[in-house]
Amino acid sequence: MTGPVFDHHETTRLDIQRPDITLLNAAANLPAATLHEAAGKIGVLPYEIKPVAPGFRICGPAVTVHSPGGDNLWLHRAIYSAQQGDVLVVSVSEAYEHGYWGEIMSTAAKARGLAGLVINGCVRDQRLLSEIGFPVFARGLCIRGTGKDFGARGWINAPTRFDDVTVNSGDLIVGDEDGVVCIPRERIAEVITASEAREAAEAQQMKRLEAGESTLSIFGWDQ
């Protein structure tokens, strides 16, 4: 290690507010798309971010990470700043094409009991990530290595921007095969209630469709 060292404690917050566990348990049963729609069509993270293996699903409070591009030291720090059940939500300063995460970090995060990783960048070791079973949602795969600049400034649990969505620590993150949604912490309860009502209504609509009705008649579009 050479050169100046940035004190990462200056930009790391540990005292974040998390949703109640009963809300998290309820959200775990809801699709990301339903939560997005029920919240008023908000909170969609970049569509390029997808699960790196089939069956991966994420649900938990956000621990946000803003990392310097091409560097994954702040991701290592975030693993040990987060608590059991947290989801790391990582911005990489638009330097997407590096393998920021792999089997070592997935193993460490799984051992810590974290709920998953959402990164607006690439990862590597796809087969091993699938075998480890720690849910990883990423922009893609890339083998290009990263550095560890101890003088570089990053942030943990600061508001972090993903296109038009700002993710705050403690927000609800849900990801499935369709994508990832962020629900602001103060709206989680109302959005879950609306999502459950939406799911119940859709179940009834599907029964009516199976019985022969049309989408046009069910939704009043047959004018």
For the chain, the straight-line distance linking the first and the last C-alpha, in angstroms and rounded, comes to 71
pLDDT digits (tens, 9 = 90+) for 161-170: 999 999 999 9
Buried b (16+ CB within 10 A) or exposed e, 4-34: eeeebeeebeeebebbeeebbebbeebbbbb
Is 179 marked within a binding site? no
Q: Report the b/e string of 88-102 with b at 16+ CB within 10 A.
A: bbbbbeebbebbbbb
Q: Is 102 known to sit in a ligand binding site?
A: yes
Residue 125 annotated as part of some ligand binding site: yes
**Over pLDDT 90: what percentage of the chain?**
97
What local confidence, expressed as pLDDT, does residue 135 receive? Answer: 98
d(Cα 199, Cα 204) in Å, to the nearest integer?
Answer: 9
Which CATH number describes the domain made up of 8-218? Answer: 3.50.30.40
Question: Known binder of ligand: residue 206?
Answer: no
- Sorted by where each begins, the domain ranges of the chain are 8-218
What is the tens place of the pLDDT at every residue in 6-50? 999 999 999 999 999 999 999 999 999 999 999 999 999 999 999
124 annotated among ligand-binding-site residues: yes
For residue 41, give the H/E element and its range.
Answer: none
Phi and psi at residue 136, to the nearest 5°: -125, 125
Task: Record the pTM.
Answer: 0.95
Nearest one of 141, 179, 182 to 49, comparing CA atoms:
179
Low-confidence ranges of the chain (pLDDT < 70): 1-2
pLDDT of residue 2: 62
